[in-house]
């Protein structure tokens, strides 16, 4: 049996059934759906996002494969630490060039 079809990534399960011959002969029933491999996202699985927490970045991945910085980190790859100071029981961001 050869079959060709198109299925969307992340779409619903597709059920197919094939029979050969008459009653009591071969019968094939299957269900399938298309998903991306681990760490790949997008309609064609073309977006790569691998969560990390090391010197090269501190982030997780959104459902669409975008980088989401972990708390306390910023920048394109979440590799710059956000610094905060506490004054009079209030948290303030530390501004560059100030003490």
Transcribe 4-46 into DSSP letters: -----BT---EEEEEE-SSTTS-EEEEEE-B-PPTTEESTTS-
Q: Output the pLDDT for position 75.
A: 96
Write b or e for each residue in 28-64: b if 16 or more Cβ atoms lie within 10 A of its Cβ, otherwise e.
eeeeeeeebeeebbeeebeeebeebeeeebbbebeee
**pTM for this entry:** 0.65
Average of pLDDT values for 60-88? 90
Is residue 25 very low, low, confident or very high in pLDDT (cuts 50, 70, 90)? Answer: confident
Average of pLDDT values for 58-69? 97
Name all domains of the chain by residue range, CATH numbers in brackets: 14-82 (2.10.25.140)
Residue 16 has pLDDT above 70, yes or no: yes
């Amino acid at each position: 049996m050869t079959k060709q079809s198109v299925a969307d990534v992340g779409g619903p399960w597709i059920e197919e059934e094939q029979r050969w011959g008459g009653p009591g002969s071969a019968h094939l029933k299957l269900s399938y759906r298309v998903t991306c491999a681990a760490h790949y996202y997008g309609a064609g699985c073309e977006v790569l996002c691998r969560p990390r927490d090391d010197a090269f970045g501190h982030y997780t991945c959104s459902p669409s494969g975008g980088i989401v910085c972990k708390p306390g980190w910023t920048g394109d790859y979440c590799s710059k630490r956000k610094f905060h100071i506490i004054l009079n029981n209030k948290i303030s961001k530390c501004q560059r060039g100030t003490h």
